[in-house]
Every structure is written in C-alpha cells, then in structure tokens.
C-alpha cells in the first residue's frame, strides 16, 4: 500500500481548523462536540447527498450550479430537506462568518434523510430528519500537488451504470470510489483512474479527467462520471477561448500518449497528472492546462465579483 502518496484534496496545514465551528441542524458547535446520531441515515446507510463548495472573497463560487445539482439529487431520491438555495446560502454564510472566514475556505454541506427509529434500511424509518451539517475549513490546495502533479493507476473497479446507482449522485455512500482509490494506493499510485463499463477512460475516484492531445482537449462523454461543476466550466471556457474541446470515448491508448492530462474539481480547480500506470504523461510542460487555469481563475473572479 502506498502510504505516503498524495491526494487531489491535499491542503496546506492550517492550525485554525482545530477550533472551527460546525453547523449541525441549526446550531454552531465546536468541531470536537459536533455529532450526529448513530441512527442517522447517512451514518447507517450512506443515505444522503453532499456538495463541495469554495468561498472566494466572501462569495460561494458557482453557487447556483452547485444548488442545481444538489436539489436535483435530493429530488431524485425523494429527500425533502425543507431547505431552499436561499436558506442554504444563509446557513453557509452564518457558519463562515462565525469562523471569521472570507476566502480560501472549503465547505462540505451534507444532508441526510435523518435519524431512524430502528437500525434498518427502510426510508420510512427515518422519522426525524433531515440532518443538515456544514463543515467549512480554511483550505488552500497543496502547492506540491498543484506543481508536480498526481500519479494515477487504472483500477479494476469501474464506474456504475445509471440504473444501479447513478454516478451523478454525490451521495454519502462513495464506496465505489473508495474501493477504486484503495486499489490505486495498493498499486503504488495516489489516486484511481476509472474506466466505464465499456473500457473507455472515464474519471478518477474524486475528480473529472481530461487529456490534451495535439492541442485538443478531450474528456469522457459525461456518461458514468460526476456532472462536475468545474468540468462544465472548463468545457465552456475552452469553447469560448477557441481551444478545441471534445466530450468523447477514448481508451488508455490515447491517455498514455497524451501531451498533458489534468483533473478538475471544486477543491483543486485543475490538478496536473504526472503519470498513469507508471508512464509519464507528456514532457511535463503543460501549456494548455496552464492556459485553462488562468481562464478559470479569471472566471472565478468574475463570478464572485458579479455576486457581490
């Protein structure tokens, strides 16, 4: 097992996170006291949805897009949260303010079906819910991961079909992704590159995956992967900036021979991939990803300025 590996979610150390206040069902509670019941549907069954968001200069970036995905997922699993995008924003703002956070903070908002009467599966047993928790931490992505890049290994665990557990659900249960990540670590890599049921390259266990070949940007068709907010922003930015971009099937053959590869996600924005299955990707120069990074930074600045 690779125990000193990196992760796309490696953050720079910040002692202030030892004393943060967490939103738990309407109350702000010190991290050490923040608790949910052992009967909670999220703990017992992974029955809940979550959303990861970043605070830049007092504004939750791409908030509407995150709420769109969250409320769509909640509706799809008949989880009535009693929340609205406005009330979510209010609780996130209160939590950030209580922690003195204005920028470089990352939130994990979690909504579960709530506390069950008995330790069994049936959703009707979740009678006092939902459970709403927001953990917001001071967080800056690690510079070494952002500079050197991450090592991926392809793994036996594949993405699921939408009629089993739709991979578009940001559900509390991420066991499919966790198994994939374990397999990658056991193969000596940092994270997993997952294939779709047809063997095409799809996504990593925690981020969306892109390659650059001969000046073109490629990513999977969007089937079987998370409908990442950052993924869509990168596709839109390429289109607007005249960078050829394709959502298409491709195999490891094309991924290994790519000039660049990178991951996208709210936490790390764009994270370079150094190697896949022990094969170095390109020369280590990443002009297209660097261009996209600059475009993305400018987009975040424009989005947050417009919301202020």
Ligand X SMILES: Cc1ncc(COP(=O)(O)O)c(C=O)c1O
Name which position in 11, 189, 229, 300 contacts ligand X (CB under 6 A). Answer: 229
For position 281 contacting ligand X by CB under 6 A, the verdict is no
For position 7 contacting ligand X by CB under 6 A, the verdict is no
Least Å distance between CB 206 and ligand X?
Answer: 5
Residue 195 contacts by C-beta under 8 Å, 6 or more apart in sequence? 154, 158, 159, 201, 202, 252
Q: Which stretch binds ligand X (CB under 6 A): 29-37, 77-85, 110-118, 224-232?
A: 224-232
Q: How far apart are the first and last CA of the chain?
A: 46
Name which position in 139, 202, 220, 266 contacts ligand X (CB under 6 A). Answer: 266
Q: CA separation (Å) from 232 to 240, 243, 266, 301?
A: 12, 14, 11, 17
For position 44 contacting ligand X by CB under 6 A, the verdict is no
Alpha-carbon distance of 225 to 161, in angstroms, equals 10
For position 264 contacting ligand X by CB under 6 A, the verdict is yes
Q: Which helix (H) or strand (E) holds 304?
A: helix 287-307
CB-based burial label for 278 (10 Å; 0-12, 13-18, 19+): exposed
Q: Residue 275 has which token pair?
A: 């190697």
Which is closer to ligand X, CB of 51 or CB of 126? 51
Give the up-direction half-sphere exposure of residue 241: CA atoms within 13 A in the CB hemisphere: 20
Least Å distance between CB 180 and ligand X?
Answer: 9
Q: Residue 35 has which token pair?
A: 């608790």
Least Å distance between CB 156 and ligand X?
Answer: 17
Name which position in 157, 171, 230, 271 contacts ligand X (CB under 6 A). Answer: 230
Residue 150 DSSP one-character state? E
For position 268 contacting ligand X by CB under 6 A, the verdict is no
Each residue 204-223 as x (binds ligand X by CB under 6 A) or -, in order, gives: --xxx---------------
Least Å distance between CB 227 and ligand X?
Answer: 8
Q: Considering only residues 51-110, where is the footprint of ligand X by CB under 6 A?
A: 52
For position 48 contacting ligand X by CB under 6 A, the verdict is no
Number of residues that bind ligand X (CB under 6 A): 15
Alpha-carbon distance of 115 to 130, in angstroms, equals 7
Q: Considering only residues 231-250, where is the footprint of ligand X by CB under 6 A?
A: 231
Chain position carrying tokens 């289109």: 239
Name which position in 226, 258, 261, 276 contacts ligand X (CB under 6 A). Answer: 226
Q: CA separation (Å) from 58 to 12, 66, 141, 307?
A: 20, 16, 18, 9
For position 203 contacting ligand X by CB under 6 A, the verdict is yes
For position 154 contacting ligand X by CB under 6 A, the verdict is no
Site residues, ligand X (CB under 6 A): 52, 170, 177, 203, 206-208, 226, 228-231, 264-266
């Amino acid at each position: 097992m690779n125990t000193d590996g990196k992760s796309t979610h490696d953050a720079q150390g910040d002692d202030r996170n030892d004393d943060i206040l967490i939103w738990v069902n309407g109350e702000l509670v010190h991290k050490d006291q923040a608790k949910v019941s052992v009967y909670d549907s999220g703990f017992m069954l992974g029955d809940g949805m979550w959303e990861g968001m970043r605070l830049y200069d007092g504004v939750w970036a791409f908030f509407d897009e995150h709420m769109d995905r969250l409320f769509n997922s909640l509706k799809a699993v008949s989880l009535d949260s009693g929340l609205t995008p406005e009330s979510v924003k209010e609780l996130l703002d209160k939590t950030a303010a209580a922690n003195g956070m204005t920028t470089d903070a990352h939130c994990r908002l979690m909504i579960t079906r709530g506390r069950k009467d008995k330790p069994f599966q049936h959703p009707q047993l979740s009678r006092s819910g939902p459970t709403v928790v927001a953990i917001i931490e001071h967080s800056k992505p690690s510079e070494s991961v952002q500079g050197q890049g991450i090592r991926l290994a392809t793994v036996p665990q594949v993405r699921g079909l939408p009629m089993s557990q739709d991979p578009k659900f940001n559900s509390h249960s991420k066991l499919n992704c966790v198994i994939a990540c374990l397999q990658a670590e056991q193969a000596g890599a940092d994270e997993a590159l997952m294939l779709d049921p047809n063997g095409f390259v799809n996504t990593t266990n925690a981020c969306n995956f892109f390659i650059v070949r001969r000046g073109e940007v490629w990513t999977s068709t969007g089937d079987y992967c998370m409908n990442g907010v950052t993924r869509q922003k990168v596709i839109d930015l390429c289109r607007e900036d005249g960078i050829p971009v394709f959502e298409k099937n491709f195999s490891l053959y094309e991924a290994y021979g790519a000039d660049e590869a990178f991951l996208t996600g709210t936490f790390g924005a764009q994270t370079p991939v150094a190697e896949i299955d022990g094969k170095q990707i390109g020369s280590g120069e990443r002009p297209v990803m660097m261009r996209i990074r600059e475009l993305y930074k400018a987009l975040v600045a424009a989005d947050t300025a417009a919301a202020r």
